[in-house]
């Protein structure tokens, strides 16, 4: 049986299910986490247990492409993953243009909720509210910057969403926010060190970049090739032109 999934959701499903179904799942999972670039802190992953939520809704705080609930050397940690792709209709995707869209939205009070930095910020505010006031705080609501598509956000009362939030509680004291993007890793490193490091957007409460991480799709594909994840490699081939431009994206 062969299964193909479309675009970023299909790729993440294929990647994580193939890792989970392998005989050396935790070893592979640790190797994948170690391939993620964290620009502002060193993180040593030695995961002994993991739970993953794929495409989980958090109501007003948005969906998460993946949520990783981790036991790392006896410490509970959580990682949110947001993935972006260069669609076949789009000439290119790069982090500088995504940042430009972010700053323009702030200046014009018209913040795009699908922007990578906005999505990661939403998850960071979700976790901060959970740390400070628990689920009750999320139900009461959290104030967001002027110009957001919704300036007061709540978790709602969907039973599955609340079940997911309850799963986050034991892990939420140590959280990371990761982007998987179609840019090349050298451009990503330069952006995080030269552009984002000292940037503080006006009106963004609890803005904190220290726990941000990133990985390029090219690096994900290289990881799959190195570890012979055949099904995910086949999904990259199926989605060729839809995930990243191999002439622009690389893992160097």
Buried b (16+ CB within 10 A) or exposed e, 189-222: eebbeeeeeeeeeeebeeeebebbbbbbbbbbbe
DSSP notation for 64-92: EEEEEEEEETTEEEEEEEEE----TT-S-
Strand 75-83 and strand 142-143: the pairing is unpaired
pLDDT of residue 36: 97
Residue 37 DSSP one-character state? B
Confidence of residue 91 (pLDDT cuts 50, 70, 90): confident
Q: How far apart are the first and last CA of the chain?
A: 35
Confidence of residue 231 (pLDDT cuts 50, 70, 90): very high
In the chain, pLDDT over 90 holds for what percent of residues? 93
Helices 7-20 and 25-34: crossing angle in degrees, nearest 10, is: 130
CB 214, CB 249: distance < 8 Å: no
The mean per-residue pLDDT over the stretch 37-62 comes to 97
**Tokens, residue 21:** 């179904």
**Tokens, residue 74:** 């006896």
Confidence of residue 41 (pLDDT cuts 50, 70, 90): very high
Q: Decide if pLDDT at 90 tops 90.
A: no
pLDDT of residue 121: 98
Confidence of residue 249 (pLDDT cuts 50, 70, 90): low
pLDDT of residue 251: 77
pLDDT of residue 34: 96
Helices 116-140 and 159-168: crossing angle in degrees, nearest 10, is: 100
The mean per-residue pLDDT over the stretch 92-116 comes to 96
The closest alpha carbon to 179, from 60, 75, 73, 99, belongs to: 99
Ramachandran angles phi, psi of 3, nearest 5°: -125, 130
**Tokens, residue 150:** 């919704």
User: 3-class DSSP state for residue 4?
Assistant: coil
The mean per-residue pLDDT over the stretch 136-165 comes to 96
State the CB neighbour count (10 A cutoff) for residue 141.
Answer: 13
Cα angle, residue 181 at apex, residues 185 and 228 outer, rounded to 5°: 80
Distances, alpha carbon 7 to alpha carbons 18, 45, 101, 238, in Å:
17, 28, 22, 9
Return mean pLDDT, the chain. 95
Residue 50 DSSP one-character state? E
Q: Where are the beta strands (DSSP E) in 33-182?
A: 47-57, 63-72, 75-83, 142-143, 152-153, 175-181
d(CA 180, CA 223): 13
Query: Of the ranges 97-101, 183-187, 246-250, which one carries the lowest mean pLDDT score?
Result: 246-250
The mean per-residue pLDDT over the stretch 204-209 comes to 94
């Amino acid at each position: 049986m062969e299964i193909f999934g479309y675009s970023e959701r299909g790729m993440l499903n294929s990647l994580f299910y193939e890792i989970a179904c392998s005989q050396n799942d935790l070893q592979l999972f640790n190797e994948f986490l170690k391939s993620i670039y964290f620009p502002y802190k060193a993180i040593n992953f030695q995961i002994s247990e993991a739970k993953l939520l794929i495409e989980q809704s958090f109501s007003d705080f948005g969906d998460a492409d993946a949520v990783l609930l981790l036991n790392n050397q006896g410490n509970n940690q959580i990682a949110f993953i947001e993935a972006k792709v260069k669609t076949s209709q789009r000439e290119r995707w790069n982090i500088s243009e995504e940042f430009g869209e972010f700053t323009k939205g702030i200046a014009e009070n018209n913040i795009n909720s699908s922007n990578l930095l906005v999505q990661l910020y939403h998850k960071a505010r979700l976790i901060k509210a959970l740390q400070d006031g628990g689920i009750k705080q999320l139900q009461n609501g959290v104030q967001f910057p002027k110009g957001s598509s919704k300036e007061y956000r709540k978790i709602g009362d969907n039973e599955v969403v609340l079940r997911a939030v309850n799963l986050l509680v034991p892990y939420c004291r140590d959280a990371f926010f990761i982007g998987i993007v179609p840019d090349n890793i050298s451009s990503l490193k330069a952006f995080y060190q030269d552009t984002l490091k000292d940037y503080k957007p006006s009106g963004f409460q609890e803005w904190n970049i220290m726990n941000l991480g990133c990985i390029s799709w090219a690096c994900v594909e290289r990881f799959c090739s190195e570890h012979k994840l055949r099904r995910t490699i086949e999904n990259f081939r199926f989605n060729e032109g839809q995930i990243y431009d191999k002439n622009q994206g690389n893992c160097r």
